[in-house]
A and B are shown apart, each in its own frame.
Chain A
Amino acid sequence: MTRRLLVQKILVIGLGLVLLATSGASFYSSRRLKEPVVLGPGVTTVKRLSDYFEPLRGTANDCNVYVLEGKEPGATIFVLGGSHPEEPAGRLTAWVLAENAVVETGRLIVVLSANRSATTMTRLGGAYPPDFSIPTAWGSRTFRMGDRWTNPLDQWPDPEVYFHYPSGQQLAYVDIRNVNRTWPGRANGTLTEQTTYAFMEAIKREKVDILVDLHEAELQYPVINTIVTHQRGQDMATMVSMTLTDMEGFKIGTEFSPRTLHGLSHREVGDHSNAISLLFEAPEPFLDATRGITGREQLLSGKDEFVVKAGKHGLLFAPIDEKGWPIAVRVGRHTSALLQVAETWGEDHPDKRIVITGVPKYKEMIERGVGHYLRDPAKAPAGRVVYE
C-alpha cells in the first residue's frame, strides 16, 4: 500500500468513525431519555405490566401501570396511552391523568407507554425529531417522540406476511410490531404479542369495565375526530359524541368497530373480555403524507401549509386551517371525551359509577395549555417521581 493510499484510507475510515460516533450517541441518548412522572394525589399504586405476565419482566415493554383507587367502590376504566407513541396526544393525556386525576368513586388504571419499545425510536426515514418539549411555568418537560411500531432492536426480523393470532387474518408484515394490531396477543408470541397478552390479563384480572385506547390520526385517514367502539359500547359512545358535540364545542363522531377487522383494541378487547372497548382518534397533521417539515414546532402546533392545501383540494377527512391543530386542542379532546365516558357510564350504572375529578376539560386545557398540568419533578415529595 502506497503512502498516498494509506492516508486516503485513514481519512475515509476517520470519516466513518465520526459518523458512527455522532449518530450512535444520538440514537443511544434518545433511546434512554428519562421521562419523569410526578405521581398525582390520586395515584395509589404503581404496578408493572409484568405483574400480570411474568415473561415480560425486564423487557423493553415492561411499562408502568398507574392505579388510581377511589374511596368508594365502583367501575374500573383502563386508559391506554402510547399504543402508538408517535401520536403524542395519547401519551400526554395519560400523563395529565397520572399527575392530576383523583378518583372519588371507582378506579382508574392508566398506562403512559403501552408500547414502551416504540417510544425509543422514530419512524425510519421520516425525519421526525427524537423528542419534543412542553413548556411549563417552572421550565419544560421533554418527551420521546416515538414511533408507531416496536423498535426492531427489541423485535426483529419481520415476517413476509403477518398472520394475526387467533383469527389467522393476513395483515401488513410490519404490523407484527404494532400494538394495535396484535390484540388479544399470545403468551408465546413476539414481544408485541406478549405485550397485548399482558394487557388482556390485566383487563381480566382487574375486572375492567371500559378500556379507552388513546390515538391520533392523519387528516387523510377517514377514521378521525371520532370514537371507535365495540358493538357493546355503541349506545354509550353515541351518547358521548352527541353530548360532547352539543356541550363542549367540538365535533366528534362515532364509528362502529368492523367485526371482521382483527387485531385492534376496539375489536379484540370487547370480544375477548367483559370490558367495553373504545378508541379515541384526534387529528395530527404531522402524520399526513402531504406534510411539510417534520420539526418539533410543527408537531406541537399542528400547523402545516401543505396539509392545508390538501384540504383545499378536498383530500382530507377533517378540517384544517392556518391555526392548525395545537397539542392542547388534541389533548383536551381526549380528556373531555374520557370524562364524558365516565359520566355517561355513571348515568347508565348508578350502582357502579366512576367519578373522576382534577382533570381539565377541553376548554380549560386550551386556555391553560398542557404544560399547566405537568408537575415539577424537582418539587415532588420524596418517592413520588417514577420514570417511563
Chain B
Amino acid sequence: MPIVTLLYYALVAFVSVILVVNLLKSKKWERDVLYVLVLVPFLLRLLRLK
C-alpha cells in the first residue's frame, strides 16, 4: 500500500475518532443522529468495505 494511501487512512481514522468524541459529548439527539450518519461512511472506508 503506498505511503500516501496509509496517510489517508490515518486521516480517516483521526476524523472518525473526533466524530465519536463529539457524539459522546453532544446533548441534543438531532446532533447525535447527524454524527452517526457522517461517521458511517468513514467507518466503511476504514473497514475497507466501501
Q: Are the C-beta atoms of A28 and B49 separated by less than 8 Å?
A: yes
A121: chain B residues at CB < 8 Å are 50
**CB of B35, distance to nearest CB on chain A (Å):** 8
A137 at the binding interface (Cβ < 8 Å): no
> For the complex, what is the distance from the CA of A6 to the CA of B40, rounded to whole Å?
21
In the bound complex, what is the Cα–Cα distance between A5 and B26 (angstroms)? Answer: 9
Interface of A is mostly: helix
Contact check, B33 vs A153: say whether CB atoms are below 8 A apart.
no
* Interchain pairs with CB closer than 8 A, number: 45
A 4-16 to B, binary, CB cutoff 8 A, 1 in contact else 0:
0100110011011
The main secondary structure of chain B at its interface with chain A is helix
Contacts of A20 in B (CB 8 A): 40, 43-44
Beyond A24-B47, A157-B4, A157-B8, is A16–B40 a contact (Cβ under 8 Å)?
yes
B42 to chain A, nearest CB (A): 10
CA of A16 to CA of B34, assembled, Å: 10
Contacting pair A15 B50 (CB below 8 A): no
A178 to B13, CA, bound (A): 27
Say yes or no for A167: interface residue by CB 8 A criterion.
Answer: no
CB distance from B37 to the nearest CB of A (A): 8
Instruction: Please name all residues of chain A whose beta carbon is closer than 8 Å to the beta carbon of B33 when the two chains form the complex.
Output: 12, 15
A23/B50 in contact, CB under 8 A = yes
Neighbour of B44 across the interface among A8, A9, A23, CB < 8 A: A23
Does A250 sit within 8 A of B, measured CB to CB?
A: no
Some 13 contacts from A to B, beta carbons below 8 A apart, are: A9-B24, A9-B32, A12-B23, A12-B29, A12-B32, A13-B23, A16-B40, A20-B44, A27-B44, A28-B49, A156-B8, A157-B5, A157-B8
A residues at B contact (CB < 8 Å)? 5, 8-9, 12-13, 15-16, 19-20, 23-24, 27-28, 121, 153, 156-157
User: Footprint of A on B, CB under 8 Å?
Assistant: 4-5, 8, 23-24, 27, 29, 32-33, 36-37, 39-40, 43-44, 47-50
- Return the 7 tightest CB-CB contacts between A and B, nearest first: A16-B36, A12-B32, A24-B49, A27-B50, A27-B49, A19-B40, A8-B29
